[in-house]
Each structure stands twice: as C-alpha cells, then as structure tokens.
Structure 1
Amino acid sequence: MVLYSMPSSGNSYKVRLLLALLGRDYSHVPVEARSPGIEAAKAAGQLPMGKAPALHLDTGEILTESNAILWYLGEGTGWIPPDPLARARMLSWMFFEQNRHEPVIAVRAALRCYPDRAEAATPERMAELYEAGQDILSLMEQGLGEAPFFGGARADLADIALYGYTHSAESRGGFDLGACPRLRAWIARIADLPGYVELMPDA
C-alpha cells in the first residue's frame, strides 16, 4: 500500500496511526499543503478528491476520506466491535468527529499554525471557534463517562478518529483541557498503545 498523507494534518495522522497500531507495512508519500508535492500528486491523479489522505491499494484502487480509510483498514480486526449496537455507537462518534469536531477543533488549529490562513484568524472568528470547541471537548468529556475509551473497555476506530485532532487541541488549537481530566487521561492511554506513532507537524 502507498499512503499519500499530509504530515501536519490530523485527518492524515489518523490513518498513519492506525496503520502503525496494526503493524501494517506501507510506503508513505508526504504531501504537505501548499507544497509542490501535493500539487504534483493532484496533477498526476494520485489524490482523486483533491486532498490527502489517499490510500493506494495493491489492487490499484484508491481510497479517500480518512474515516472511510479507517473502516477499510479496521475490517476484520479488533478495532471494529462485533456487536451491532457497539458498531453503531462507534460510527456515531466518527460522524460527530467529521461533522462537529473537525470543523471547529481542526479549523482553529489551522488558523493558528498555517501562515497562509492567518488572514482569516480574526479575533472574532478565533473567539467563536474557541467557545464552540470548548463545548465540543466538554461533550467528549461527558461521553467518556467512566470508560477508558469511547468504545468502552477497549479502543475502537472512534478513538482513533477523535484522537487525530483532540490530542493537539491545546498545543495547536489553543484550547483548554483543564476541565477535562477524563479526556486528558484518554489521550495518555492512546499514546501508550503498542505501536503508537506521533504526529509529524514539522515533516
């Protein structure tokens, strides 16, 4: 397999993290935003949706969208629970991540970290994203309850999906997890999983 991924992106990181936790072999092609590499990959048809990540399979098929790639890689492994209700709950968190979490937590981080987006980081916009993000993080804190993972007793794909941008919400997004001790403990648990790899923001 060949993975085209953006080193600093949480969406791309989710895929690299699951591949590492599964111990799967693959080749990595870094395509950072606004780089000649990503423009070349687009021109060559390597990024069918025009963005990373894109997983090129041995069959010649290309998978896009981070959570869809997670599902494909997780099929037949312990990362997808066998119980239908548990799978549905996992998917609900994955939908939450892309529909509510990523558009706020990831966007604020992007406005703070990418120079080409600084113009859009107005005080009003940043304050709006901060307030919305803190609410989202509080929902996650409540959602964990007393369980160690969002999947309950063991981690599943929902944890991988949510971890991508949550683990750097403070350092890159400027959010405050001081009122979220369960969330902080969850972040530490994911980082302790065998095979864990870190984000590559400076790659």
Structure 2
Amino acid sequence: MTLQVYGDLGSGNCLKVKYIADATGTPYVWHDVPVRSGGTATPEFRALNPFGQMPVVVLDDGRPLAQSNAILRYLAQGSRFIPTDRYDAAKVDEWLFWEQYSHEPTVAVARSRVIYDGQDTAKLDPVLVGRANAALDRLEQALTGQVFLVGNAMSIADIALLVYTRSAPDAGLDLAARPAITRWIAACEQELGLTATAAVIKGQS
C-alpha cells in the first residue's frame, strides 16, 4: 500500500499522519497543501473531502479518508500502537475524543492565532489561554507517575496529543513547569525516532 497524503507539515493534525505512517512503515507520497493557501477549496480537494479540511489520505483503491484521528486508527490497526486489551483500546479512543474536543480547540487554536494570524502571545484571548492551560494541566495530571497515556506502551493516543502539546510554547504556553509532560515528550520523541526538540523551553516545533 502506498498512501497518498494531502496536508501541510506545519499542521499538527497532518503531522499525526506522518508520524504514524513512519512508525508503522507505511509507504506514502506527501502532497503539500499549505495552510490558508486556498488549496483545500479547489474542486479536486473537495472531491476528496467536501468539508475542505486537512489531512486527507487516499488509499490504493482510490477511497479517501479524512479526520486525523480516524486516519491514525486506520493506519495503526494491527500494530503496537493500538492495545489488544479491549479496555485499554477504549481508553485510547477516550483520549482521541478528548484531544479533538478539549485539547486541539484550545492549545492548537492559540498556537494558530500566533503562527498564522500574527497575534502577540500577550494579546491572546485570556479565556482561550485559560482553557488551553486547563487542558495541559489535565494532561500533566494524567501523565504524572506514568510514561505513556494508556498502559505501559506508546499508543496513538500519545501521537494524537504529542503534536500540538510539543509546540504549545509557540502560543506562550509553559511546558517547562509541567515535568510529566516534558518527560513524556522526550519519551515519545525517542519512540518515534524524532530529533529531540527544545520546544518545551523555546517554543520551537
């Protein structure tokens, strides 16, 4: 299977797809669609995803699949990134839902307003920042005393939450004061073969 992936590597949701494809050894061709370039509004892209959202993958048989966490689940089937235990697998899904409902709409949105809209971190909506910090506090609490989110092994729950957490300092969100998160980022980087980043201190992605 050679996957066709449409996305922007500056997007955390798109990076999820790259990380799981690399980790599972899934061959893919990356088609760059820059954020806010208008590329998702073309008839060709809307034929793949009528909602005009990235990422989108196209399977060998031509079927498209959208939504980053759905793609994560598809590519991770049968791999070590989805637990075989039924309860643990459900806990992974619990984190995937939470990521899209509580984490991405706060942490990722705050980062987007800085990176793409040019807002100063000091001028971000305090309500948004408060919710983003609450999401990071919840993650810190969950990771305290354990290496990964579910069980003793890395799962797609970790990949889903890693991408925007790792770049949260871009929005002025403090990770250095959250030691469980910083240890978890380092553990995920090691598992995925990513270059260790100073993101937790300097806001690099």
Q: Which amino acid aligns with 2:160?
A: A
Partner of 2:140: 141
AA in 2 matched with 1:181: P
From 77, 88, 93, the equivalent of 2:90 is 88
How far is 1:193 from its partner?
Answer: 1.8
CA distance in structure 2 between the aligned counterparts of 1:44 and 1:175, rounded to whole angstroms? 34
- Any residues of structure 2 matched to 1:19-168 within 5 Å, and which? 19-40=21-42, 42=44, 45-115=47-117, 118=119, 123=123, 125-168=124-167
TM-fit CA distance, 1:178: 3.0
Asked if 2 retains the 8 angstrom alpha-carbon contact of 1:105 and 1:169, the reply is yes
State the alpha-carbon separation in 2 of the partners of residues 95 and 39 from structure 1.
Answer: 27
| Structure 1 residues 188 and 198, CA gap change in structure 2 (3 angstroms) | closer
* Kept in 1: contact 2:41–2:52 (CA 8 A): no
Letter in 1 for 2:162: Y
TM norm structure 1: 0.87
Residue 102 of structure 1 contacts residue 165 of structure 1 at CA under 8 Å; is this kept in 2?
yes
Rounded Cα–Cα distance in structure 2 between residues aligned with 1:160 and 1:2: 20
Work out whether residues 56 and 66 of structure 2, in 8 Å CA contact, stay in contact via their aligned partners in 1.
Answer: yes
| Higher RCO structure, 1 or 2 (CA under 8 Å, sep 6+) | 1
Q: Which amino acid aligns with 1:188?
A: A
Q: Superposition RMSD on alpha carbons, in Å?
A: 2.3
1:149 corresponds to which letter in structure 2?
F
Distance 2:45 2:79 in 1: 35
- Matches of 1:138 and 1:122, distance apart in 2: 20
Counterparts of 2:67 and 2:89 in 1: how far apart (Å)? 19
- Count of aligned pairs between the two proteins: 195
Classify 1:91/1:194 alpha carbon distance in 2 versus 1 (closer, same or farther; 3 Å).
closer
Query: Distance between the aligned counterparts of 1:126 and 1:43, measured in 2?
Result: 32
Q: Where does structure 1 lack aligned partners over 5 or more consecutive residues? A: none
Contact 1:144/1:182 (8 A) holds in 2: yes
CA contact (8 A) 2:19 2:192 kept: no
Q: Which moved more, 1:181-190 or 1:44-53?
A: 44-53
Change (3 A) 1:88 1:174: same
Q: Would you say the 8 A contact 2:7–2:33 is kept in 1? A: yes
